[in-house]
Structure 1
Amino acid sequence: MASSTPEASNLPGMGASVNPDGGITFRVWAPTCDQVHVAGNFTNPQWNEGKIALAREEKNSEYWSIFVKEAKVGDHYKFVISRKDQPDLWKLDPYCRQTTGRINLNDGSPRENECVIVNPKLFQWDKKKFDMPLWNELIIYEMHLGTFIDNGDIARRFLDAISKLDYLVELGINAIEIMPCTEFETNTSMGYNPSLLFAIENHYGEEGSVQQFVNEANRRGIAVIFDVVYNHLGPDDLSECFWRFDGSYKDNYG
């Protein structure tokens, strides 16, 4: 299936970008490697045997890309980074917006963490414009999703928190600050040890549930502020993505 002479995609976007007319553009920054492939469940055969080579976008470019017509929203994928001086590195996409998480399959065997292709533009937001309260009038409720509500189904926490929004209105607040909610190492964390920058922690839900939470909060006149962590990562769970992403490092650092 993979072409021996791949062509770089002329469509915009980093990571896995959905083409409105079908197909996915995969693009990644990997400046020092010799080759990048994308592997997933959308090829035949799947994963390693059917992996598709990306093309350098320009001579000596640090970016690699490819358009894959067969890939679609909901498919799983990983980047395979190749260097002549070391074994292939199977990496999560730094720009991915959702992962499967590491879970056990029905036969008890572990499943590798995989990226999931999502389209954030599918969600239907309310047409009514939301006017955020003035900054000097904000009454902010700081919310940690992991402890705010517990119904035994931790994968639904953003959706379950919607049921408490009317209670928060009665408290008199007009803004919610969500503590960091991107992927982190454990199932319970304050969120300040991110392993990915854009993927929602899979124990809190997925991107659609976040959008629904924000939409419902806005309907009640509540602004939603996200606490984000961009100045550091980890320290754990980084080998799946950022740590020595394209195999390069200096003085034992990634």
Structure 2
Amino acid sequence: MSEYQVWAPAAAEAVEVEVDGERYPLARLADRPGWWGGEAPAGDYAYRLDGGPPLPDPRSPRQPHGPDGPSRAVDHSAFAWSDTPWRGRPLPGSVVYELHIGTFTPAGTFAAAAERLDHLVELGVDFVELMPVCPFPGRHGWGYDGVSLWAVHEPYGGPEGLKRFVDAAHRKGLGVILDVVHNHLGPSGNYLPAYGPYFTDRHHTPWGAAVNLDAPGSDEVRAYLLGSALAWLRDYRIDGLRLDAVHALADDRALTFLEELSTAVDQLAVATNRPLFLIAESDLNDPRTTAPREAGGLGLAAQWSDDFHHALHTALTGESQGYYADFAADPLDALARTLTRGFFHEGTWSSFRGRTHGRPFPAAHGHRLLGYLQTHDQIGNRATGDRLSATLSPGRLAIGAALVLTSPFTPMLFMGEEWGATTPWQYFTSHTDPALAEAVRQGRRREFTDHGWPPEQIPDPQSPATVLASTLDWSEPTLPGHADLLAWYRRLIHLRRTHPALTNPDLSAVRVDRTPRSLTVHRGPYRILAAFADTTITLDHSQEETLATFGDTHSTDPRTVKLAADSVAVLKLH
């Protein structure tokens, strides 16, 4: 017999567990309000509340038939790990690589992705960051419509497949970060409201009612989310979690959920004797997100830095629409500001928001910001999912890579950018509910036609062709042009690894000189020279060594460097 327990305060009279078609009554647990429990045979199971339809377990560790089907237990102790020497690695000083399992390879599985890990080892990155892998309806999706927050999407390979991927990554010296979504659940396959107050109308989010972190019943909701997070770190040996849009975690309690989570993760790190960490996606520009709890912060290790991305993107592309407008008046100045101060908005006016925004970031802790040229959001939220490689020269891409990989931040790459992938990264879904599928399709078209895009140019999210177009083409890395850019990324990551001053996170030690069309970044004895037009740069010291160049660069004397447009050089000076 197996023990079954479920938090179901919404049940008025009875809760049954249905195992392989047979029903077994559960009893209220006297010491746990709202909980029901009892014994029944092992097997695929679902819960029935007050005689209602069978529902998957909110804490289901496996959904072998998809989000709507019965649940299945997983014996995590049965997996034979071979990564025993792996003791983890800290995030500071590392390089992160974001990827989506479903489009990283044509097969779209953990097993197929594991076969490409040698590429990442040769590239030199330290962590693989997986986009969300919780179950969602259909085969394809970004993962942000996930449900069953303790389970793994079966088409990717299920729980066993994820463990094998993590095990393989650790054997090759790569850490694994998992993107998790606590601020909402997908619109299809979410049965949590039937069980209890998992959501609240006290707050609202872009996805509707907020996850209940502070209303009646929120202790159990917090325990549900916290337990899920710790399960990834403990049972799957994940090294860190990226928390999606933490600014949408509406929480008015004195002890916030994020503080509670960071405390629990730190305790688990001590118990398992390996570094574990949390990374936030936040648009608040609030350094308290990553400040230690004892200093009044939330205690997260790092957060994504959209300010740096927006400044870099605007400088490279000249785009000024939407949120880029704040950075477009003087893009190189905005870029210099983020490199030396962390946040662009630090209590300053944001025309995009129509108000002041942010507060100053502590100069000593640049490593708490992830810096990037491209991400799934910044590509996929464009109308056609076009990468920078679709419009920028290889030299411009090389400049962007150099400024990311020599920055005081924790660098992050998005899959395929290292060779200038020509495949777009488009928004795709495979909703099984026809009405929902059509609503998503029309909503996407409406959003971008309102901004002037012809509707026929907007990819259909439900079309298999959209997924296929977004899948990496692994013949590209060895092709002319692509191979040169890949070699540049490898060289920059190698320099970062072998020249410790390039990982110095102290923003106050960074100086930036600029002309209208060039940028010189001072990093200790190193100079990163970026030319957006033909230019001559006079150095403050004589050159000792040219560490890396991309494009047409040459020296006329030890203190003068000429660069053609869209060229970049990394120098070490006396």
- Contact preservation (8 Å) 2:59, 2:149: yes
SS in structure 1 opposite 2:39? strand
Q: Provide the rounded CA distance (Å) in 1 between the counterparts of 2:83 and 2:175.
A: 16
* Mapping of residues 133-212 of structure 1, within 5 Å: 133-151=89-107, 157-212=109-164
CA pair 124-248 structure 1, distance change in 2 beyond 3 A: closer
Q: Provide the rounded CA distance (Å) in 1 between the counterparts of 2:198 and 2:96.
A: 43
TM-score, normalised relative to structure 1: 0.72
- Contact preservation (8 Å) 2:3, 2:39: yes
- Contact preservation (8 Å) 1:78, 1:90: yes
CA pair 243-185 structure 1, distance change in 2 beyond 3 A: farther
Equivalent AA in structure 1 for residue 5 of structure 2: R
The answer to whether structure 1 residue 65 and structure 2 residue 37 are counterparts is yes
Runs of 4+ in 1 over 4 A off after TM superposition: 246-251
- Contact preservation (8 Å) 1:80, 1:90: yes
The answer to whether structure 1 residue 218 and structure 2 residue 196 are counterparts is no
- Give CA deviations for 1:4-40 in whole Å, capped at 9, x if unaligned: xxxxxxxxxxxxxxxxxxx321100011311111112
Q: Provide the rounded CA distance (Å) in 1 between the counterparts of 2:84 and 2:3.
A: 32
Per the TM alignment, residue 54 of structure 1 is displaced from its structure 2 partner at its CA by: 0.6
The answer to whether structure 1 residue 245 and structure 2 residue 199 are counterparts is no
Q: Provide the rounded CA distance (Å) in 2 between the counterparts of 1:133 and 1:249.
A: 36
Q: Provide the rounded CA distance (Å) in 2 between the counterparts of 1:101 and 1:244.
A: 20
Q: Which has the higher contact order (CA 8 A, sep 6+)?
A: 1
- Contact preservation (8 Å) 1:89, 1:247: no
Match of residue 14 from structure 1: none
- Contact preservation (8 Å) 1:32, 1:248: no
SS in structure 1 opposite 2:80? coil
- Contact preservation (8 Å) 1:40, 1:78: yes
Structure with the higher fraction of residues in helix conformation: 2
Q: Provide the rounded CA distance (Å) in 2 between the counterparts of 1:248 and 1:237.
A: 14
- Contact preservation (8 Å) 1:181, 1:200: yes
- Give CA deviations for 1:28-76 in whole Å, capped at 9, x if unaligned: 00113111111122xxxxx1xx3000111117831001123x31xxx21
Identity percentage over the alignment? 29
Equivalent AA in structure 1 for residue 65 of structure 2: G
- Contact preservation (8 Å) 1:182, 1:198: yes
SS in structure 1 opposite 2:133? coil
TM-score, normalised relative to structure 2: 0.33
Match of residue 37 from structure 1: 16
CA pair 60-94 structure 1, distance change in 2 beyond 3 A: closer
Match of residue 73 from structure 2: 117
Equivalent AA in structure 2 for residue 52 of structure 1: Y
Per the TM alignment, residue 138 of structure 1 is displaced from its structure 2 partner at its CA by: 1.3
Q: Provide the rounded CA distance (Å) in 1 between the counterparts of 2:58 and 2:10.
A: 16
Give 5+ residue unaligned stretches, structure 2.
202-208, 212-574
SS in structure 1 opposite 2:103? helix
Equivalent AA in structure 2 for residue 234 of structure 1: G
Give 5+ residue unaligned stretches, structure 1.
1-22, 42-46, 104-111
Q: How many residues are matched?
A: 202
Q: Provide the rounded CA distance (Å) in 1 between the counterparts of 2:148 and 2:77.
A: 21
Q: Provide the rounded CA distance (Å) in 1 between the counterparts of 2:188 and 2:66.
A: 15
CA-atom RMSD, angstroms?
Answer: 2.6
Match of residue 26 from structure 2: 54
Per the TM alignment, residue 202 of structure 1 is displaced from its structure 2 partner at its CA by: 1.3
Q: Which sits farther off after the overlay, 112-121 or 207-216?
A: 112-121
- Contact preservation (8 Å) 2:83, 2:167: no
- Contact preservation (8 Å) 1:91, 1:245: no
Q: Provide the rounded CA distance (Å) in 1 between the counterparts of 2:197 and 2:18.
A: 18
CA pair 250-235 structure 1, distance change in 2 beyond 3 A: same
Q: Provide the rounded CA distance (Å) in 2 between the counterparts of 1:79 and 1:245.
A: 10
CA pair 150-60 structure 1, distance change in 2 beyond 3 A: closer
Per the TM alignment, residue 218 of structure 1 is displaced from its structure 2 partner at its CA by: 0.4
- Contact preservation (8 Å) 2:83, 2:171: no
Per the TM alignment, residue 208 of structure 1 is displaced from its structure 2 partner at its CA by: 1.3
- Contact preservation (8 Å) 1:120, 1:207: no
Q: Provide the rounded CA distance (Å) in 2 between the counterparts of 1:247 and 1:142.
A: 34
CA pair 231-247 structure 1, distance change in 2 beyond 3 A: closer
The answer to whether structure 1 residue 97 and structure 2 residue 53 are counterparts is no
Per the TM alignment, residue 162 of structure 1 is displaced from its structure 2 partner at its CA by: 1.2
Equivalent AA in structure 2 for residue 242 of structure 1: L
CA pair 138-185 structure 1, distance change in 2 beyond 3 A: same
Q: Provide the rounded CA distance (Å) in 2 between the counterparts of 1:67 and 1:230.
A: 31
Q: Which sits farther off after the overlay, 30-39 or 123-132?
A: 123-132
Per the TM alignment, residue 211 of structure 1 is displaced from its structure 2 partner at its CA by: 0.9
The answer to whether structure 1 residue 28 and structure 2 residue 28 are counterparts is no
Q: Provide the rounded CA distance (Å) in 2 between the counterparts of 1:142 and 1:221.
A: 16
